[in-house]
Protein backbone atom coordinates (compact mmCIF):
# COMPACT_ATOMS: atom_id res chain seq x y z
CA UNK A 1 0.00 0.00 0.00
CA UNK A 2 1.32 3.37 -0.90
CA UNK A 3 0.30 6.94 -1.53
CA UNK A 4 1.92 9.45 -3.84
CA UNK A 5 2.28 12.90 -2.31
CA UNK A 6 3.51 14.65 -5.48
CA UNK A 7 0.52 17.04 -5.68
CA UNK A 8 0.90 18.37 -2.15
CA UNK A 9 4.61 18.18 -1.69
CA UNK A 10 5.05 21.96 -1.79
CA UNK A 11 1.62 22.96 -0.54
CA UNK A 12 1.43 23.61 3.16
CA UNK A 13 -1.98 22.45 4.30
CA UNK A 14 -2.47 20.37 1.15
CA UNK A 15 -4.43 17.19 1.60
CA UNK A 16 -4.94 13.98 -0.34
CA UNK A 17 -7.73 11.60 0.55
CA UNK A 18 -7.30 7.96 -0.27
CA UNK A 19 -8.97 4.61 0.02
CA UNK A 20 -6.61 1.71 -0.50
CA UNK A 21 -7.78 -1.85 -0.77
CA UNK A 22 -5.37 -4.75 -0.90
CA UNK A 23 -5.59 -8.50 -0.62
CA UNK A 24 -3.28 -9.62 2.18
CA UNK A 25 -4.60 -13.15 2.37
CA UNK A 26 -1.19 -14.52 1.45
CA UNK A 27 0.40 -12.82 4.41
CA UNK A 28 1.31 -15.05 7.31
CA UNK A 29 2.68 -13.40 10.37
CA UNK A 30 5.52 -15.23 12.02
CA UNK A 31 4.66 -16.97 15.19
CA UNK A 32 1.04 -15.89 15.16
CA UNK A 33 -1.93 -17.78 13.92
CA UNK A 34 -3.36 -14.76 12.16
CA UNK A 35 -4.68 -14.76 8.65
CA UNK A 36 -6.42 -11.92 6.80
CA UNK A 37 -9.55 -13.41 5.27
CA UNK A 38 -10.91 -10.27 3.68
CA UNK A 39 -9.13 -7.41 1.90
CA UNK A 40 -7.35 -4.85 4.01
CA UNK A 41 -9.02 -1.46 3.53
CA UNK A 42 -7.22 1.70 4.55
CA UNK A 43 -9.16 4.93 4.21
CA UNK A 44 -7.62 8.15 5.27
CA UNK A 45 -5.80 11.25 4.23
CA UNK A 46 -2.32 12.66 3.99
CA UNK A 47 -1.84 16.25 5.08
CA UNK A 48 1.25 18.31 4.36
CA UNK A 49 2.05 20.47 7.38
CA UNK A 50 5.12 22.01 5.78
CA UNK A 51 7.43 19.95 7.98
CA UNK A 52 5.95 16.51 7.90
CA UNK A 53 3.22 14.58 6.16
CA UNK A 54 0.53 13.38 8.52
CA UNK A 55 -1.13 10.13 7.57
CA UNK A 56 -4.38 9.54 9.39
CA UNK A 57 -7.16 7.10 8.85
CA UNK A 58 -8.68 3.77 9.66
CA UNK A 59 -7.62 0.30 8.61
CA UNK A 60 -10.07 -2.55 8.66
CA UNK A 61 -10.02 -6.21 7.78
CA UNK A 62 -11.25 -9.58 8.99
CA UNK A 63 -8.82 -12.06 10.37
CA UNK A 64 -9.03 -15.70 11.13
CA UNK A 65 -7.43 -16.90 14.30
CA UNK A 66 -8.08 -19.70 16.78
CA UNK A 67 -10.40 -19.74 19.75
CA UNK A 68 -8.38 -19.32 22.93
CA UNK A 69 -10.35 -22.09 24.63
CA UNK A 70 -11.24 -24.76 22.07
CA UNK A 71 -8.79 -23.92 19.25
CA UNK A 72 -11.44 -23.90 16.55
CA UNK A 73 -11.09 -21.20 13.86
CA UNK A 74 -12.65 -17.83 14.66
CA UNK A 75 -13.23 -14.91 12.35
CA UNK A 76 -12.76 -11.52 13.94
CA UNK A 77 -13.26 -8.07 12.40
CA UNK A 78 -10.56 -5.66 13.36
CA UNK A 79 -10.26 -1.96 12.93
CA UNK A 80 -7.31 0.21 13.78
CA UNK A 81 -6.75 3.94 13.80
CA UNK A 82 -3.62 5.10 12.07
CA UNK A 83 -1.92 8.35 12.98
CA UNK A 84 1.63 8.55 11.70
CA UNK A 85 4.10 11.17 10.60
CA UNK A 86 6.47 10.94 7.69
CA UNK A 87 9.11 13.17 6.27
CA UNK A 88 11.15 13.10 3.12
CA UNK A 89 14.59 11.68 3.59
CA UNK A 90 17.12 14.45 3.07
CA UNK A 91 18.90 14.36 -0.26
CA UNK A 92 22.26 15.17 1.31
CA UNK A 93 22.53 11.80 2.98
CA UNK A 94 25.86 10.69 1.47
CA UNK A 95 27.39 7.74 3.24
CA UNK A 96 30.53 9.72 4.14
CA UNK A 97 28.77 12.63 5.78
CA UNK A 98 26.19 10.62 7.67
CA UNK A 99 28.26 10.44 10.85
CA UNK A 100 28.92 14.18 10.99
CA UNK A 101 25.38 15.12 10.26
CA UNK A 102 23.83 12.96 12.88
CA UNK A 103 24.32 15.35 15.78
CA UNK A 104 22.83 18.34 14.01
CA UNK A 105 19.89 16.29 12.90
CA UNK A 106 19.08 14.85 16.27
CA UNK A 107 16.58 17.49 17.23
CA UNK A 108 14.82 17.11 13.97
CA UNK A 109 14.72 13.38 14.03
CA UNK A 110 11.90 12.77 16.41
CA UNK A 111 11.53 9.08 17.04
CA UNK A 112 8.08 8.80 15.66
CA UNK A 113 8.69 10.47 12.33
CA UNK A 114 9.36 7.95 9.59
CA UNK A 115 11.32 8.77 6.49
CA UNK A 116 10.42 8.08 2.92
CA UNK A 117 12.25 8.55 -0.37
CA UNK A 118 10.91 9.94 -3.58
CA UNK A 119 7.28 11.00 -3.71
CA UNK A 120 5.71 7.79 -2.49
CA UNK A 121 4.99 6.93 1.09
CA UNK A 122 4.96 3.18 1.68
CA UNK A 123 2.25 2.34 4.14
CA UNK A 124 2.53 -1.43 4.53
CA UNK A 125 4.59 -1.29 7.71
CA UNK A 126 2.37 1.17 9.54
CA UNK A 127 -0.75 -0.65 8.44
CA UNK A 128 0.62 -3.97 9.64
CA UNK A 129 1.88 -2.57 12.94
CA UNK A 130 -1.42 -0.92 13.68
CA UNK A 131 -3.37 -4.04 12.80
CA UNK A 132 -1.19 -6.19 15.02
CA UNK A 133 -1.72 -4.02 18.08
CA UNK A 134 -5.46 -4.21 17.51
CA UNK A 135 -5.64 -7.97 17.50
CA UNK A 136 -7.80 -9.42 20.22
CA UNK A 137 -5.64 -10.91 22.95
CA UNK A 138 -8.09 -13.73 23.41
CA UNK A 139 -10.53 -14.54 20.67
CA UNK A 140 -13.41 -16.82 21.53
CA UNK A 141 -15.49 -18.77 19.02
CA UNK A 142 -18.61 -17.89 21.01
CA UNK A 143 -19.41 -16.33 24.31
CA UNK A 144 -19.18 -19.03 26.95
CA UNK A 145 -17.13 -21.42 24.84
CA UNK A 146 -16.56 -24.43 27.11
CA UNK A 147 -13.13 -25.21 25.71
CA UNK A 148 -11.36 -28.54 25.66
CA UNK A 149 -11.32 -31.09 28.44
CA UNK A 150 -7.92 -30.72 30.14
CA UNK A 151 -7.81 -34.46 30.62
CA UNK A 152 -8.84 -36.03 27.31
CA UNK A 153 -8.92 -33.01 24.98
CA UNK A 154 -12.51 -33.41 23.87
CA UNK A 155 -14.28 -30.26 22.69
CA UNK A 156 -16.75 -29.76 25.50
CA UNK A 157 -19.01 -27.68 23.24
CA UNK A 158 -19.74 -30.91 21.44
CA UNK A 159 -20.71 -32.72 24.61
CA UNK A 160 -19.45 -34.06 27.92
CA UNK A 161 -16.60 -36.54 27.80
CA UNK A 162 -17.22 -38.10 31.20
CA UNK A 163 -13.84 -37.28 32.71
CA UNK A 164 -13.87 -36.24 36.34
CA UNK A 165 -11.84 -33.08 36.57
CA UNK A 166 -11.21 -31.39 39.86
CA UNK A 167 -11.24 -27.61 39.44
CA UNK A 168 -9.97 -26.85 42.89
CA UNK A 169 -6.53 -25.42 42.60
CA UNK A 170 -4.10 -26.58 45.28
CA UNK A 171 -3.81 -23.22 47.03
CA UNK A 172 -7.55 -22.88 47.33
CA UNK A 173 -7.73 -26.41 48.68
CA UNK A 174 -5.27 -25.53 51.41
CA UNK A 175 -7.24 -22.42 52.29
CA UNK A 176 -10.40 -24.50 52.46
CA UNK A 177 -8.66 -26.88 54.85
CA UNK A 178 -7.56 -24.03 57.10
CA UNK A 179 -11.02 -22.56 57.18
CA UNK A 180 -12.53 -25.90 57.97
CA UNK A 181 -10.01 -26.43 60.74
CA UNK A 182 -11.19 -23.27 62.52
CA UNK A 183 -14.70 -24.43 62.85
ZN1 LIG B 1 -14.11 -22.02 21.36
ZN1 LIG C 1 -12.34 -35.51 29.09
Mean pLDDT confidence for 58-87: 93
| Residue 143 alpha carbon to ligand 1 centre in Å | 8
Distance (Å, whole) CA 28 – CA 34: 7
Mean pLDDT confidence for 24-37: 75
Q: pTM here? A: 0.72
CA R_g for the chain: 26
CA 125-128-133 angle, to 5 degrees, is 125
Q: Which ligand minimizes its atom distance to the CA of 68?
A: 1
Whether the CB-CB separation of 80 and 57 falls below 8 Å is answered with no
| Residue 70 alpha carbon to ligand 2 centre in Å | 13
Residue range 88-121, pLDDT digits in tens: 987 554 444 344 444 444 444 567 899 999 999 9
Percent of the chain with pLDDT over 70: 77
Q: How far is CA 7 from CA 19, 47, 69, 153, 164, in A?
A: 17, 11, 51, 59, 69
Q: Which ligand minimizes its atom distance to the CA of 154?
A: 2
Phi, psi dihedral angles at 55 (to 5 degrees): -115, 115
Neighbours of ion ligand 1 (CB under 5 A): 67, 69-70, 141, 145
| Residue 108 alpha carbon to ligand 1 centre in Å | 49
| Residue 73 alpha carbon to ligand 2 centre in Å | 21
Q: How confident is the model at residue 168 (pLDDT cuts 50, 70, 90)?
A: low
| Residue 139 alpha carbon to ligand 1 centre in Å | 8
| Residue 69 alpha carbon to ligand 1 centre in Å | 5
| Residue 168 alpha carbon to ligand 2 centre in Å | 16
Going by DSSP bridges, is the β-strand pair 40-48/53-66 parallel, antiparallel, or unpaired?
antiparallel
Amino acid sequence: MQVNIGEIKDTKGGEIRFRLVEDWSKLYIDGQSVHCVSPVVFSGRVTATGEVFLVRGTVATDIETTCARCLSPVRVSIKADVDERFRMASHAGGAGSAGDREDEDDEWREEDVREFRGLTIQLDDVVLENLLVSLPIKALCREGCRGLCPQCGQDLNAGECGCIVSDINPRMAKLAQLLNGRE
